[in-house]
Structure 1
Amino acid sequence: MDLRNLTIDEIKSYLETIGEKPFRAKQIFKWVHRSIENIDEMTDLSKDLREKLKNDVYICNMNIVGMEESKVDGTRKYLMAMKDGNIIECVFMRYKHGNSICISTQAGCRMGCTFCASTIGGKNRDLTSGEMIGQILKVQKDTGESISNIVLMGTGEPFDNYENVMKFLKLVNSKEGLNIGMRHITISTCGLVPEIRRLADENNQVTLAISLHSPNDELRRNIMPIAKKYSLDELLDACRYYINKTNRRITFEYSLIDGVNDHLENARELSALLKGLLCHVNLIPINLVKERDYKKSQKERVEAFKNMLESRGIEVTVRRELGSDIEAACGQLRRQYLKELD
């Protein structure tokens, strides 16, 4: 049983089963949400209690098996090996407003988006909430810097692992743990409609990001298999429900692919689709994926696309390209590592 996967109340219940006082639960929780890697590091617990713990529980740790650091902006891309040998990625990014981390929620992904390297090879398994926490703690320990913002936009579809992601939010928000506020957390989904509605009903304050990448169903179905299950009408109905329930602005991610979805007509369609929604569009010049034929849109086309949206009243930014000199796009470094193992 992984201690990092347990709430304080769950640790209390466990302690009662081994005849220990429940007040120890807070102590243990605080320890496992620091960057310790074994139970013996809990120095304010008695040796007898530590020995009892070692009989039943462990602390989820992962080993850094690869790391690339950008010489341009200090972005770090990590490859981590899990206890069972699965490989995941996370990215550490420095901003003026604080450090951010993009974490993985699954080992692999089954969503099949054609512009994404993470989905090549499919999904191996879901990550636990403790394994999500573990990525943050490992990076904080490696960098010696604290992290104040979290993006669930690494390998995997967070809403395909909904229960573990919701538990992760509770753990990471705990005052006795990392104490990262919900407003400092972004969850990205390719568009799982029922889970968008579920998140709205959770009534927390996270930021929701929707991977849109197309202004119409036909084009979206060609690049995102999830669009064959949920139409844009269904997706936008769920988005309106979310906005009405939470009064939170949605971010629509739009990866610009040269000659595919970056025409001015696409921008006109997109502005019409999103008109009246409490939203923001984040344009992303796509990263090259070696196994795909897609290319990044030229800067002039990106600017023209942005200007078209702005002229029609849509709030829009172009994502700052971090880690441009390393394989910082989701799934690329992991994919290269796995190919070298084959």
Structure 2
Amino acid sequence: MLKKNKIDIRSLSLEQLKEQLVANGEQGFRAKQIYEWLWQKSCTDFEQMSNLSKNLRDKLSQTYTINAVKIDKSQHSADKTIKSTFRLVDNHLIEGVLIPTPERMTACVSSQVGCSLTCKFCATGYMERKRNLHADEIYDQVVLIARQAEESYQQALSNIVYMGMGEPLLNYANVLRSIERITSPDGLNMASKRITVSTAGIAKMIKKLGDDQVKFNLALSLHAANDEKRNEIMPINEQNSLKALSEALKYYFAKTKNPVTYEYIVFHHFNDELSDAKELAKFCKHVPCKVNIIEYNPIAFADFQNAEGDKIEQFAEYLRSQGVITNVRRSRGKDIDAACGQLAVKEKEAQETVNT
């Protein structure tokens, strides 16, 4: 429940917090102590900030609020994937996933409540976009999933992918601020190279990533290297053609020197022919890149099917023959609707949210 007339303390920069404390008769260095509690120790209760006086803790709780995200429920897959439904302070629900493999522990986090892009193969695309997530709400997902990794598998979180609900580049400022808090030495201190932001392809924002010289990895959900086919499954392509995307990616690479990952779902009888692989290989020549071929995960709203196994292997082998680094990714968490493209708050849950 939202606390009226209280300031969300995590929306403030360190300098803003310091100014407010000093204006209220407190010593400026207290801001750094509070910031450490908020962003290094992930504290969500002023009372636990033990190196602050009781008087200051009381003042903080009267003036500020910490809008902590909470786990509403979690589901465990047979393959050890954990999907969590998170409840936000305004009672909206989002989903995030812990993906454990022998090599890494990956958190898949959401950036919006719902999505506005209507990609035809993605469950989230059939939801209405309610709002963008704040930076602290994205950060909280990482913290909560990291705790699940420690508690369930006694391993630290190693990677973060912004591949959950929503389009990260349509929530640009909050996504970048969340990454700044996650990677900062006075935050979670995670290496930027362990973070990947995935976009459906918004050319001007890809260029902005270049201008901001970001250090994290960029992935583009491509799924077709042909405008006609991509328009059919991803309406965003109508305003962001492959030509516009290729120009944006060249600009991005020139500014950052970061190679790009292309995500490509091979759909049965849609984009699984040799001609499709040739188009993709040609697109891969624009900037240094690799391709992740992703297994399609069926959803109730669409009748796409995954390509046959031998077709996927032939597709991958052709790309490799053209010098394209290609990985075939197997889906995880499919039995609990936690796999790529399956995240969507179910209708019953959404109704409960509205009625809360």
State the TM-score, normalized to the length of structure 2. 0.91
In structure 2, relative to structure 1, the CA distance for the partners of 1:333 and 1:67 (3 Å cut) is farther
Deviates more, 1:211-220 or 1:276-285: 276-285
1:161 aligns with 2:167: no
Question: Does the 8 A contact of 2:86 with 2:95 survive in 1?
Answer: yes
Question: Does the 8 A contact of 2:127 with 2:344 survive in 1?
Answer: no
1:175 aligns with 2:185: yes
Q: Which residue, out of 80, 83, 87, partners 2:86?
A: 80
Partner of 2:61: 54
Compute the displacement of 1:141 (Å): 3.4
In structure 2, relative to structure 1, the CA distance for the partners of 1:245 and 1:321 (3 Å cut) is same
In structure 2, relative to structure 1, the CA distance for the partners of 1:2 and 1:331 (3 Å cut) is farther
In structure 2, relative to structure 1, the CA distance for the partners of 1:11 and 1:283 (3 Å cut) is same
Q: Which residue, out of 309, 318, 325, partners 1:315?
A: 325
1:150 aligns with 2:160: yes
d(CA) in 2 for partners of 1:335, 1:291: 12
Question: Does the 8 A contact of 1:35 with 1:141 survive in 2?
Answer: no
Partner of 1:26: 32
2:314 alignment partner AA: A
State the TM-score, normalized to the length of structure 1. 0.94
1:79-228 matches, within 5 Å, as 79-143=85-149, 144=151, 146-228=156-238
1:262 aligns with 2:276: no
Q: How many residues were matched structurally? A: 341
1:4 aligns with 2:10: yes
- Please state whether the residue corresponding to 1:134 is helix, strand or coil: helix
Compute the displacement of 1:14 (Å): 2.6
1:45 aligns with 2:42: no
1:62-91 residue CA offsets vs partner (Å, 9 max, x unmatched): 22222111222x211110111111110111
d(CA) in 1 for partners of 2:299, 2:319: 27
Deviates more, 1:271-280 or 1:202-211: 271-280
Partner of 1:278: 288
1:23 alignment partner AA: F
In structure 2, relative to structure 1, the CA distance for the partners of 1:339 and 1:203 (3 Å cut) is closer
- Please state whether the residue corresponding to 2:146 is helix, strand or coil: helix
In structure 2, relative to structure 1, the CA distance for the partners of 1:11 and 1:100 (3 Å cut) is farther
Deviates more, 1:172-181 or 1:136-145: 136-145
Question: Does the 8 A contact of 1:106 with 1:125 survive in 2?
Answer: yes
Question: Does the 8 A contact of 1:117 with 1:335 survive in 2?
Answer: no
Partner of 2:4: none
- Please state whether the residue corresponding to 2:332 is helix, strand or coil: coil
d(CA) in 1 for partners of 2:113, 2:350: 15
Partner of 2:43: 36
Q: Structure 1 segments of 4 or more deviating over 4 A?
A: 339-342
1:185 alignment partner AA: I
d(CA) in 2 for partners of 1:196, 1:125: 21
Question: Does the 8 A contact of 1:2 with 1:130 survive in 2?
Answer: no
d(CA) in 2 for partners of 1:331, 1:13: 44
Compute the displacement of 1:54 (Å): 0.8
Compute the displacement of 1:112 (Å): 0.9
In structure 2, relative to structure 1, the CA distance for the partners of 1:331 and 1:24 (3 Å cut) is farther
Question: Does the 8 A contact of 2:299 with 2:342 survive in 1?
Answer: no
1:264-314 residue CA offsets vs partner (Å, 9 max, x unmatched): 211111112222520011111111111111112221111111011111221
In structure 2, relative to structure 1, the CA distance for the partners of 1:261 and 1:336 (3 Å cut) is farther
d(CA) in 2 for partners of 1:339, 1:60: 20
d(CA) in 2 for partners of 1:38, 1:259: 54
d(CA) in 2 for partners of 1:20, 1:322: 50
Compute the displacement of 1:336 (Å): 5.4
1:235 alignment partner AA: L
- Measured on the aligned residues, the alpha-carbon RMSD in Å equals 1.8
Compute the displacement of 1:163 (Å): 1.1
Gaps of 5+ in 2: 1-6
- Aligned-pair identity in percent equals 35
Partner of 2:72: 65
d(CA) in 2 for partners of 1:60, 1:146: 25
- Please state whether the residue corresponding to 2:65 is helix, strand or coil: coil
Deviates more, 1:35-44 or 1:121-130: 35-44
1:44-76 residue CA offsets vs partner (Å, 9 max, x unmatched): 11111111111121222122222111222x211
Question: Does the 8 A contact of 1:4 with 1:133 survive in 2?
Answer: no
Partner of 2:251: 241
1:334 aligns with 2:350: no
d(CA) in 2 for partners of 1:114, 1:276: 26
